[in-house]
């Protein structure tokens, strides 16, 4: 049966030949290039922002981004994913900078206003590392956390610890206590029991809709904020006080619509000068910010 042996031999050769064949791999797929950041800042723009008064650079989620500080606790993005959006920083709060509305102890409204006006320049003194998950507050502002900014501002006495619906950062409270003991910034003339951070009249549309108005205060010791509900109608420029009767803490009520445009007389400092640091005048070109959309008070 030679022919059977020949067929078997041919079958073996065929099987071995097939098993030895290899498939040449195709080319590796090219990695998908990352899309460039929207309106990403160039190195030149970053350097320019560092040089401009009241501007600065933050590293937001790892991306260098230019910003313009509105006051000591908020800024507007000038580049990057959120370009044009306003920000509300977490952990701390600064005094209102739309006019001499705060008063306590022996401080005059003009003196505390001087500190508030200069806070944006204190905040822009360095680059900062910040993060956000994209969440926004009720005003549409991006919620951003910059822990080192918070420490810097509190240490300088240009801010106080501010916590809503959460416990304040113990480390930041320690920094605040040191600033209070050293009598720096807003603590120079003593430490009040609390600070009023916002006022709302019952005549406001929001209050009418909800059936109640509220003010917000914050403890100068713990950083805890408190909503104080009421049904009072405030007059423009009316001073509202809280705290101990012999040492009250006060704030002047002005409707949001006229805090930045068509200001009433009570929002103009009595000395009619541009302030840099407390008690010192600075050139108008350094103290006067570019026109920006107003930033609501901490709510």
Q: Is residue 280 part of a domain?
A: no
Q: Is residue 24 part of a domain?
A: no
Q: Is residue 49 part of a domain?
A: yes
Report the pLDDT value the prediction gives residue 295, as an integer from 0 to 100.
53
Cα–Cα distance measured from residue 46 to residue 66, given in angstroms and rounded to the nearest whole number: 6
Identify the CATH number of the domain in which residue 142 sits: 2.40.50.90
For residue 105, the Cα-to-chain-centroid distance in whole angstroms is: 28
Mean pLDDT of the chain, nearest integer? 85
| Ranges assigned E (strand) in the chain | 55-60, 63-71, 74-77, 87-89, 92-93, 102-104, 128-130, 142-144, 160-161, 194-198, 213-219, 225-230, 238-242, 249-253
pLDDT digits (tens, 9 = 90+) for 77-94: 999 999 999 999 999 999
Give the gyration radius of the chain's Cα atoms: 30
Q: Is residue 290 part of a domain?
A: no
Domain enclosing residue 198, as ranges: 43-267
Residue 201 DSSP symbol: -
Q: Is residue 115 part of a domain?
A: yes
Domain count, the chain: 1
pLDDT digits (tens, 9 = 90+) for 1-34: 444 454 444 444 444 444 444 444 444 554 444 4
């Amino acid at each position: 049966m030679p022919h059977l042996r020949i067929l078997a031999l041919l079958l073996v050769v065929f099987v071995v030949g097939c098993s030895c064949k290899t498939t040449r791999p195709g080319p590796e797929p090219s990695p998908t290039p990352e899309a460039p950041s929207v309106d990403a800042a160039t190195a030149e723009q970053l350097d320019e922002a560092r040089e401009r008064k009241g501007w600065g650079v933050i590293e937001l989620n790892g991306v260098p981004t230019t910003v313009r500080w509105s006051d000591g606790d908020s800024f507007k993005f000038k580049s990057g994913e959120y370009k044009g959006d306003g920000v509300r920083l977490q952990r701390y709060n600064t005094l209102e900078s739309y006019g001499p509305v705060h008063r306590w102890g022996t401080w005059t409204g003009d003196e505390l206003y001087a500190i508030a006006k200069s806070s944006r320049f204190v905040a822009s003194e360095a680059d900062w590392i910040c993060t956000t998950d994209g969440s926004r507050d009720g005003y549409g502002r991006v919620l951003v956390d910059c822990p080192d900014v918070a420490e810097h501002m509190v240490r300088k006495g240009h801010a106080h610890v501010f916590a809503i619906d959460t416990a304040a950062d113990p480390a930041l409270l320690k920094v605040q206590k040191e600033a209070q003991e050293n009598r720096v910034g807003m603590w120079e003339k003593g430490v009040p029991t609390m600070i009023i951070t916002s006022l709302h009249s019952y005549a406001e549309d929001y209050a009418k809709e909800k059936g109640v108005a509220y003010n917000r205060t914050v403890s100068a010791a713990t950083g805890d904020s408190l909503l104080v509900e009421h049904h009072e109608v405030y007059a423009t420029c009316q001073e509202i006080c809280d705290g101990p009767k012999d040492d009250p803490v006060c704030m002047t009520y002005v409707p949001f619509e006229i805090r930045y445009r068509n200001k009433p007389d009570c929002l103009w400092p009595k000395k009619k000068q541009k302030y840099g640091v407390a008690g010192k005048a600075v050139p108008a070109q350094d103290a006067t910010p570019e026109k920006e959309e107003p930033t609501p008070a901490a709510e």
